């Protein structure tokens, strides 16, 4: 059995990006990620103290699914849009997947 890959990415809107456009693009990007065959979880949070900064939580079935995500047309289009810049990304393993398992 392969190990799921969990990612946390911090993004911020570029200086020229309008906040409503950024929110719409990030929301659409998460929805597109959730349609990927190997993506089991993709959600975003807007920070309260800095509303131009966002945290994305993603989980992929395995390394192949994660790599496929980066090659997906919607991912390449989101990156090319120039609305956001990547601040940081970290990879880890969820300690508990009880909530996710109950949603299947």
Q: From first to last of the 104 residues of the chain, give the pLDDT tens digit.
A: 678 899 999 999 999 999 999 999 999 999 999 999 999 999 999 999 999 999 999 999 999 999 999 999 999 999 999 999 999 999 988 776 665 555 55
Output the pLDDT for position 100: 55
pLDDT of the residue at 52:
98
Q: 19: closest CA among 83, 95, 68?
A: 83
């Amino acid at each position: 059995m392969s190990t799921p890959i969990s990612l946390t990415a911090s993004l911020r809107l570029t200086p020229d990006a309008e906040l409503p456009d950024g929110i719409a693009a990030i929301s659409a990007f998460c929805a597109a990620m959730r349609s990927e065959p190997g993506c089991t979880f993709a959600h975003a949070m807007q920070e309260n103290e800095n509303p131009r900064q966002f945290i994305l939580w993603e989980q992929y079935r395995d390394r192949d699914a994660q790599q496929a995500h980066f090659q997906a047309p919607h991912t390449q289009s989101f990156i090319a849009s120039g609305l956001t810049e990547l601040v940081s990304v970290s990879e880890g393993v969820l300690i508990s997947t009880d909530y996710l398992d109950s949603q299947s």
